[in-house]
Amino acid sequence: MNRATPRPVHKHAVPLFPRISTYPVRTRGLVPLGIEAHALLGERAQPVLRKAPLASIPPDQARQLIGTGPLAARTPATITDPGALHAELSRIRARGYALDDGEMEVGVRCVAVGMPGATPMAMSVSGPAARMTDELVAVTVFALQAASSELYRQLA
């Protein structure tokens, strides 16, 4: 991943081993190890790390996990309406990756892909929005998909 994403970005996987960047920009949205799928809606989870695993499970199951009440907001960009989140999950399923444009922290952009397997997981890369351009997101999605497949292969 470090070679695939040449700019300093924060990288981590859920629920495996979060890696804190050595670069001066750090995000506070690490997800605790061993988190279960239903806890991905918790306040500490990065929105992108909620959305990617939720998009990888059947919509009815996601609907049960999300519920009907408003979701906690971290920033003005956070999706708090369950209906809007379901619409976003449909878009994620169609394009194959999730985006967070300032939903967890203002000025931070994150991209994640769901990982195959029985336990919903995601792998993500995040960084300052100015560095996480659309071009870098495209390269990162490709790298995340490759890394996710390789990790799945190694764990299988």
- pLDDT one-digit tens code per residue, 3-57: 555 444 444 444 444 455 555 555 554 443 333 333 444 444 556 667 888 888 8
Q: What is the per-residue burial (b if ≥16 Cβ within 10 Å, else e) of 117-134?
A: eeebbbbbbbbbeebbee
| Residue-wise pLDDT tens digits, 44-86 | 455 666 788 888 888 998 888 888 888 888 889 988 888 999 9
Judge whether residue 156 has pLDDT over 70.
yes
Predicted local distance difference test score (pLDDT) of residue 154: 85
Opening angle at CA 129, ends 47 and 101, nearest 5: 30
Is the distance from CB of 129 to CB of 102 less than 8 angstroms? yes
**Rounded CA gap, 118 and 46, in Å?**
21
Which residue reads 């700019």 in tokens? 7
Q: Which domains does the chain have, with CATH numbers?
A: 10-155 (3.30.450.40)
